[in-house]
Structure 1
Amino acid sequence: VALRSLSPAVIRHDGEVRISGTVTNTSGRRVTGAHIGVALSAAGAADTRGALAVHAGRTVLTRADGTEITAHTARLARLDAHAGRRFDLTVPVSGLGLEGAGAYPLTVTAARPDGRVLGLTRGQLPVYPDGTALERLRTTVLWPVTDVPHMEALTRRTGDDSVLPVFRDDALTAAFGPGG
């Protein structure tokens, strides 16, 4: 199972989530009666980057992945051996059981009618309900300065015995000045 898109980028409580992707039958047998389902983490929104990384790193379905939202699945047409097929699944946000703002670990599965998982993929569902108080993110941007050397390999002594570097020209001052 591979996700192609998960939209919208930020979920609002009155909308719907559209999931699309591709499922590929890597076995040597035809698959019939399968469906695409979605589950949100049983623990709710992840509160650390580490929790999201743990979720993304799991390769099998566990209880921590939560239970499939059975009211909203997409039936998968017959899938021949080594064939692939696109899928689209729409789930109303009200059917997801969200408990507020945060990044919810999401698991998309391809499963047989008996619930046996044939394949899965993972993602995150960012949710910010209307009225959520968001803090400004304080960032700093540091631009690396790369240029030709401007300093000579010598120094100059001053009258008070301090040492000053010797620059070839004033090009560096102009580069860091207004309009530079």
Structure 2
Amino acid sequence: MPTYDLNDVITNRIDKKVNYGKARTAFDHEKGPNNEAIVSPIPNPTHNLWIDSHLIPAVADIVNTVTVTSYQHNSAASGFGTAVGESAGVIELTRDPTVADQRSWLACSTVGTQSTRLNNWLRATYGATYLPKFAIALAGGGNGNYDITARSDYEEIYPQSTNEEYYWDYESGVFVMVGDPNGNLRDPLLTQSGGNYT
């Protein structure tokens, strides 16, 4: 069993609460954030309420609805875009030029344009199918309704795998690699699935 000090425990609790919306019940080596079962959302002040959040389904839809924009490949969608019935597709993340070592990336509606950053992503507290997936591939795919798993350079990454650790800030649409990215990292990163409140 690893040795933990008080700072490690507090950091682990804050990570699970803030980044995953979960209550910490065990050390990470016993139960990672995705395995914590008790939902513990952060309170929202009235100026930041999602008035129609009761309309967010427990299972993520594969097309856009009135309240949720679906970011994933869907060949059966009526089109590519943000209208109801369409799919917003996958996103090619934009590198944050203010951060060294290509550690930080932004989810933007227009690739390379930081001012179009998409925020208010839905946490897994609304349902497990809202947990976003990320992959790495060579640049150039852009945003679109295409199947990135068909690309030969595609590789899904996981937040708790060695040399792949990252966290996703749901409220701001910011993806951050933990430490210095692996030298084999291709850029940019792509979201495979996820949804945000519209």
Fold in common (TM above 0.5): no
Bigger RCO (CA 8 Å, 6+ sep): 1
Q: Whose strand proportion is higher, 1 or 2? A: 1
Q: Whose helix proportion is higher, 1 or 2? A: 2
TM (normalized to structure 1)?
0.32
Q: Which has the larger radius of gyration?
A: 1
